[in-house]
Structure 1
């Protein structure tokens, strides 16, 4: 005990490692929610789906802009609406739901590490610090998406499998429950994360192949039975198009020939250094890497399978990062990596302060410092990054988190002026009783929750169709990118959203038009 306390003082830690890791992630996530708007198109879309679930009271089949939404299962939307039952439709409360599962994933990963390396009593805390300090996890687990829930499901599933040699039946039932959690969070993709680990249990858990097959069948049936409690009623209520989309398009369709996010096979290989920064950039840390139990299969199979799948996004590998954290955790016990917090805190805080001044200070400050900002902050980040790579220890997680915060503030500080859907949505909202029109082929609900709209937005592929619809009734409003608008019809006003200038057209004077059947 005395040795552990001395080691903590030498490392500069004032909190238990697990608690420190969770506090770091919580701080970054909460500040991110407060400092930046919900990002289009993903976060705004999921908030709108949750909002329409609240409006309709239909918890079986999610909807987006009045149409069935088959792209994702409903768990995240359920959880947001449960929170809204207490808080009302608060954006901050809704956007903290997914990060809460990021916190749970840190705790579960620490627990898993302790099970895999029982001889090292501090491995759980060190693993938590590595995970919380990884750039990929600190960014993506704090967003309103499904990957933090999927990460928790993956960690819980692997944890259940570690019990197979001693409590086989309970372990496989727990594995099935984890499959159900992942499936309700993001669909069948949870199988790609957990099935290879389960199939390899004869190799790393020392059980027989027959026992594995029987146990896996029990786990799959358990997971399917839980998911069926939602899926069967939803497929019946959603109709044939929804059934086809859920059962085929959104699973096999994405893997074989992705209709979205197509990337080359080497995409994740190029991205990996950023996801595991700063730990993966240190030769000393690499020498300390250990791969106990299921980690080789978990990391290797996930990376290879997702590289072969057509659709790729950076956050798809988030459920693999807990395994990477366990692998790198022994590096934090290396004496050569020890460093006091005082050595890195001033530089980190200076970066954060500078980013806040540039991102949220008066416009004059931003304009004056803009020519120097990239050079000064870029140099500071590079120097601090090198310091972490070569001398980082347990406190490297602190500095890494501060760097992630400074980057977020620097690049997202002015994001409200570009990516905040609120101003345009609130301008459209007063017209929704008569009708809101939008000329767009890629509307993803950006204005639904942001404007607290109660009715769907009318979508048009061609500008002239939108203008004809506008002219039929009074009090309507039509938005379209200026680049698509006819030059002969100037808009009433213009607004900017996502680096695109939108024009707003209002219906002609009600006294000069006749109400038609379409208005009623």
Structure 2
């Protein structure tokens, strides 16, 4: 038994660290607006309707995402009941699977030490932690695409095509487009065009379609053109070509996102890329493949007109491989560059300096979270840098891992739960049944509606401050009308439309308010 533990100590350590980061505090905070409740409510309504085919929310069919993540949530609800923990459990399982897959495959792609380093860099990066513990689709896509890309590189083509089909069920057309385009760029760069003859492309396309296409065909047969127009036309083509939130997209949007997501290992990104292109290496081919994989994902979504912080998640595994390789090279050479050490300290100081950034009065509640988060992340940068300066290379790595475990426990067990009233609709949903009469018109601000529906079962009617219904019309109604909105929206309306002051406040939470037209 002792020999078995010694033989598998690397893999067991990876599994232990992943479990320590991903499993605790899943239910410490309610599902956070606006994204988590959307997926939780959709899966809940599908399960209640006994419909495993058609996603639905607020009692209506919804064609935003394919069903794979909903299916996983529905299975979780079936076993454990509807809860915050059950909503997030599928992402946690996918995150642990991705971490272990990166380790197991990394031993074949590189060697055991690089696989070990890469897996731990991945699971201890801030962005991976966040997505891995959130009830959103991105971790499911990350896992399926990771298996697809690694299988293509290792010439396990049938497995690659199967997971390509699963990627189509996880997120949509990117499940097909990304692997194809990444492989084409890699083959062009390395001039390995003869590989195309051995990739079993006709059989593979058929296999991928057999896995991923039946759901689309059934949805079209049941819902017709509206499904294609909404899912393919709007949620994929239109959202790539035109911003969903005008003014919030930029070619440089994902640069700070990547830096934040890879914390505390961000300081090694530039030295890694520099070494990759300036020194020859026995792992040169797989390094090129990982670089193309990561860079393509980053550039593709940087060009997209609709941009969300989680979009670049599929680039985290190949980036972790690159970082693991760089750290390994520096370790065996017993030489970490001084610019790297300086970068650790500079990033740490910048994090601490973030406490001096002025916040809007509506965001002032984030100040303690910024203080705690920046302090722990700065420590995760300063301690490894100090150990590297003292040439204690293993201690530097261990210090970074331990500090990120502490950061995850503090963030998900202490910081986020303290602000649940500011980032979720849970409290409003709890008091709404005591305030609302159950039959009058109920209007709910768009981003609050999923959380209200998930926790109260009340759908209401979607309301936006720029769109109908008009406040004057609501006040003119003889019957009671209830209106749920965030306090930030309420204060903005108070400045632009004095009519809002004629509504009575039926109830309120720290960040949300329930109004009534006839108090």
TM-score, normalising length: structure 2: 0.77
Which of 317, 321, 329 aligns to 1:326? It is: 321
**1:210 CA displacement:** 4.7
User: Is the 1:147–1:316 Cα contact (8 Å) retained in structure 2?
Assistant: yes
Which of 506, 514, 517 aligns to 1:493? It is: 506
**1:411 CA displacement:** 4.1
1:461 aligns with 2:469: yes
Segments of structure 1 that go 5 or more residues without pairing to the other structure are 9-14, 165-170, 339-369, 509-520
Deviations 1:153-188 (A, max 9, x none): 111102221332xxxxxx333222111111111111
- SS of equivalent residue, structure 1 residue 448: helix
Question: What is the aligned partner in structure 1 of residue 38 from structure 2?
Answer: 45
Segments of structure 2 that go 5 or more residues without pairing to the other structure are 277-282, 337-365, 389-395
**1:221 CA displacement:** 3.0
TM-score, normalising length: structure 1: 0.76
**1:428 CA displacement:** 2.5
Is the alpha carbon distance of 1:506 and 1:143 closer, same or farther for their aligned partners in structure 2, counting shifts above 3 Å?
same
1:437 aligns with 2:445: no
Is the alpha carbon distance of 1:18 and 1:134 closer, same or farther for their aligned partners in structure 2, counting shifts above 3 Å?
farther
Alignment of 1:279-290 (within 5 A): 279-282=265-268, 286=272
Question: What is the aligned partner in structure 1 of residue 416 from structure 2?
Answer: 412
Question: What is the aligned partner in structure 1 of residue 165 from structure 2?
Answer: 180
Which of 452, 455, 458 aligns to 1:450? It is: 455
**1:106 CA displacement:** 0.6
User: Is the 2:425–2:448 Cα contact (8 Å) retained in structure 1?
Assistant: no
Give me the whole-angstrom Cα distance separating, in 2, the residues matched to 1:432 and 1:55. Answer: 24
Is the alpha carbon distance of 1:209 and 1:285 closer, same or farther for their aligned partners in structure 2, counting shifts above 3 Å?
closer
Question: What is the aligned partner in structure 2 of residue 427 from structure 1?
Answer: 431
- SS of equivalent residue, structure 2 residue 508: strand
**1:247 CA displacement:** 2.0
Is the alpha carbon distance of 1:504 and 1:22 closer, same or farther for their aligned partners in structure 2, counting shifts above 3 Å?
farther
Question: What is the aligned partner in structure 2 of residue 502 from structure 1?
Answer: 513
Question: What is the aligned partner in structure 2 of residue 141 from structure 1?
Answer: 132
Deviations 1:466-496 (A, max 9, x none): 4566x447xx754355445845644252313
Is the alpha carbon distance of 1:135 and 1:241 closer, same or farther for their aligned partners in structure 2, counting shifts above 3 Å?
same
- SS of equivalent residue, structure 2 residue 133: coil
Give me the whole-angstrom Cα distance separating, in 1, the residues matched to 2:449 and 2:99. Answer: 31
Deviations 1:361-398 (A, max 9, x none): xxxxxxxxx99997687556434422224532245223
CA RMSD of aligned residues (A): 3.6
- SS of equivalent residue, structure 2 residue 23: helix
- SS of equivalent residue, structure 1 residue 258: coil
User: Is the 2:446–2:462 Cα contact (8 Å) retained in structure 1?
Assistant: no
1:101 aligns with 2:94: yes
1:233 aligns with 2:224: no
Equivalent residues, number: 455
Question: What is the aligned partner in structure 1 of residue 121 from structure 2?
Answer: 130
Which of 101, 106, 113 aligns to 2:106? It is: 113
**1:409 CA displacement:** 5.0
1:388 aligns with 2:384: yes
Alignment of 1:143-182 (within 5 A): 143-164=134-155, 171-182=156-167
Deviations 1:413-472 (A, max 9, x none): 42122223122112224658525501535554221111134x554656323444566x44
**1:288 CA displacement:** 7.0
Give me the whole-angstrom Cα distance separating, in 2, the residues matched to 1:468 and 1:153. Answer: 53
Instruction: Report which structure shows greater RCO (CA 8 Å, sep ≥6).
Output: 1
Question: What is the aligned partner in structure 2 of residue 270 from structure 1?
Answer: 256
Is the alpha carbon distance of 1:389 and 1:41 closer, same or farther for their aligned partners in structure 2, counting shifts above 3 Å?
farther
Q: When you count helix as a share of all residues, which structure comes out higher?
A: 2
